[in-house]
Structure 1
């Protein structure tokens, strides 16, 4: 988990530095590209978003974890996923956008338990299909020819539409709430092409709501106090 978080921090810090440098260098530049001029007058953008992600859980142990004699380690392992969404973008002046990107996100995350003996080791695999609605604010630099840099942040609500079937199928495992709220922050680059705006984007998502449904009859649940979702996503936006 530490290496994933370190990668997320470095990637976003790099793009924030790149954004700052681009904004400063573009203060006196009026050399706008022809493609940018074609899009500059549009108040609304619509498009499609495709992304890949690595996600896991931030686990907070309960007091019972310290005194238990069976489970030595309870941790989350990274899993892959992908996201597809529809973009609605409204410009607020030259530098700000309001964005909503309803999406379907397919993710896989694991919670592994290591016991004091090998017989007690086990792993819970959690495969989810989320319908997500992110609300974002985007701040963009001045354009240099047909390129802009930007940072973005916002709130996201997600509903796991596969939660009910998973609960029925896995009655002896921990249960998670289908509702999830999170904050997002990221950065990207806009390339203004002849017919479309192409934007690769890096984004980190951190859950702010505890998704653990406590089960007093299950030791794997009693050793946990909170489970928070988090993910690192690389997205490719196509808008026009």
Structure 2
């Protein structure tokens, strides 16, 4: 009986909390913030970049990718369409690092890949109706990046220890987040997946290279965790 009473109390408390959070009217911060046609801001965040490999003939062991945390920083330009849709341009700089290990090679089987990208996403943001001082949303779109660390034009390849990548990459992006309306600004944490569409690998001169010969496509997969201030 005591257990039943405890469960009922907990359920009642949960329902009350939900009601307080979602239905009880509170003082709204920045009441007219989203009514502006254009708005601006900036973001800081982190990323985790990976590579997806497609092989011509599947090897006995895949190329291993060791990921590390990177850093993002950029600007936000927001064009309001209506109460639910916005178009966003978020140009920024992305610092990422990945280490590759070729387990089938006994010597010289490690490559460090450090990249600095100028990343330019064009996104469509779909938001729910604002609830007190927060508003969830989903976002999706396309983007392109220019790899400032690319050695695409370097004549040296893996035979000289140089792992080469293409300069330009194209992506699609999907994610979600929540707008939090604080006293003096809008704060938005969000998470977004980034998926490259094109092959980013610059192949070695030798078509039978142990590093690139069996790779049909190498493309980035990444996660962004951004904190936006407007």
TM-score by structure 1 length?
Answer: 0.78
Q: CA deviation at 1:32?
A: 6.9
Could you say what the CA RMSD is over the residues aligned between the two structures, in angstroms? Answer: 2.5
For 1:57 and 1:151, the matched residues in 2 are separated by 25
Between 129-138 and 165-174, report the one with greater CA deviation: 165-174
User: Unpaired runs of 5+ in structure 1?
Assistant: 1-21
User: Unpaired runs of 5+ in structure 2?
Assistant: 1-17
Q: Which has the greater radius of gyration? A: 2
- Equivalence for 1:34: 28
Q: CA deviation at 1:167?
A: 4.2
- Equivalence for 1:143: 130
Q: CA deviation at 1:76?
A: 2.2
Q: Is the 8 A contact 1:33 1:144 kept in 2?
A: no
- Equivalence for 1:74: 63
Q: Is the 8 A contact 2:30 2:185 kept in 1?
A: no
CA 1:134 to 1:33, structure 2 compared with 1: closer, same or farther past 3 Å? farther
Among 36, 58, 64, the residue aligned to 2:52: 58
CA 1:101 to 1:40, structure 2 compared with 1: closer, same or farther past 3 Å? closer
Q: Extract structure 1 runs of 4+ deviating beyond 4 A.
A: 29-33, 165-171
For 2:225 and 2:155, the matched residues in 1 are separated by 33
Among 99, 111, 116, the residue aligned to 2:100: 111
Q: The residue matched to 2:78 in structure 1 has which SS?
A: strand
For 2:44 and 2:224, the matched residues in 1 are separated by 10
1:220-239 superposed matches below 5 A: 220-239=211-230
Q: CA deviation at 1:111?
A: 1.9
Q: CA deviation at 1:238?
A: 0.3
Q: Which structure features the higher share of helix residues?
A: 1
For 1:39 and 1:163, the matched residues in 2 are separated by 41
TM-score by structure 2 length?
Answer: 0.81
For 2:139 and 2:100, the matched residues in 1 are separated by 30
Aligned residues: 207
Q: Is the 8 A contact 1:187 1:201 kept in 2?
A: yes
